[in-house]
Amino acid sequence: MTVLYVGYLVLALTGTLLLSRVFNVRFSPHHKKSVVKTLILTAIVFTAWDVLAVVQNHWSFGLQHTLGIILYNQPLEEMGFFFIIPFFGIVLYEIVRAKGEKAK
Amino acid sequence: MMEYTIGVLVGLILLFVVDRALQTHVLRVRNHPFWFAAGIFAVFQLLFDNLFTWQGIWIFNRAEVIGIFVPFIPIENLFFGFELFAFTIILYEFFRRPRGD
């Protein structure tokens, strides 16, 4: 058991929050709700894909690099991954969009 | 055999169907900011997914992919990441769109 995977998640979340600060990404209350709905739905769909993929042996996890908390066949970190990476995606998309608006 | 390959291809088709059904038009507009963001996303993905695979956090079954690796991750995983990002942005555009009600 190590904190390698969870460490990368913390790094990704910290990087995303830093990015959103540096580029001044702000979400209105309506947009915040949209972000939450998006993240929940995305996490459900891709965790379902992941569960099936592990059952079918498309891939597996080096469990020695995780905290060892497994839900069905998913390490806890993998589920966190499907919240944090889409959140990074939204922040990245908002930065690109804002740059595009400015250029117009 | 190549089940992961088939999976990402089916996923790609489903993405276009969802984008059309929700009328978000993220994938249909060529100069949509989504595409530029997807390029940057892919660079981060290449770095981190290769790191994860190299360190053995993720282990891909070589029997279920077509056999193209960039350089450690199967090309299918690049599609998986693209689909994760595209699905996120399609939903985000759908939810944040102002509604008439």
Q: What residue segments make up the domains of chain A, in order of their start?
A: 4-103
Q: What residue segments make up the domains of chain B, in order of their start?
A: 3-96
Closest B-chain CA to A5: B57
Whole-model pTM: value is: 0.96
Closest B-chain CA to A60: B59
User: How many Å apart are CA B94 and CA A34, to the nearest integer?
Assistant: 8
Closest B-chain CA to A89: B85
Residue B101 has pLDDT above 60, yes or no: no
Of the candidates A12, A58, A96, the beta carbon closest to that of B4 is on A58
Instruction: Using a CB–CB cutoff of 8 Å, tell me whether A26 touches chain B.
Output: no
Instruction: Using a CB–CB cutoff of 8 Å, tell me whether B56 touches chain A.
Output: yes
Contact residues on chain B for A91, CB-CB shorter than 8 A: none
Q: Among residues of chain A, what percentage have pLDDT more than 70? A: 99
Residues 6+ apart with CB under 8 A from A2: A64, A65, A66
Residues 6+ apart with CB under 8 A from B60: A58, A59, B4, B53, B73, B74, B77
Cβ–Cβ below 8 Å for B3 and A35: no
pLDDT, position A29 = 92
Residue B9 has pLDDT above 80, yes or no: yes
pLDDT in tens, B39-97: 999 999 999 999 999 999 999 999 999 999 999 999 999 999 999 999 999 999 999 98
User: How many Å apart are CA B22 and CA B53, to the nearest integer?
Assistant: 35
Cβ–Cβ below 8 Å for A53 and B95: no
Residue A101 has pLDDT above 90, yes or no: no
pLDDT in tens, B13-52: 999 999 999 999 999 998 899 999 999 999 999 999 999 9
pLDDT, position A102 = 77
Closest A-chain CA to B40: A92
Of the candidates A46, A59, A92, the beta carbon closest to that of B37 is on A92
Arithmetic mean of pLDDT, A83-99: 97
pLDDT, position A100 = 84
Residue A64 has pLDDT above 60, yes or no: yes
Please report which helix (H) or strand (E) contains residue B30, including its range: none
Cβ–Cβ below 8 Å for A62 and B58: yes
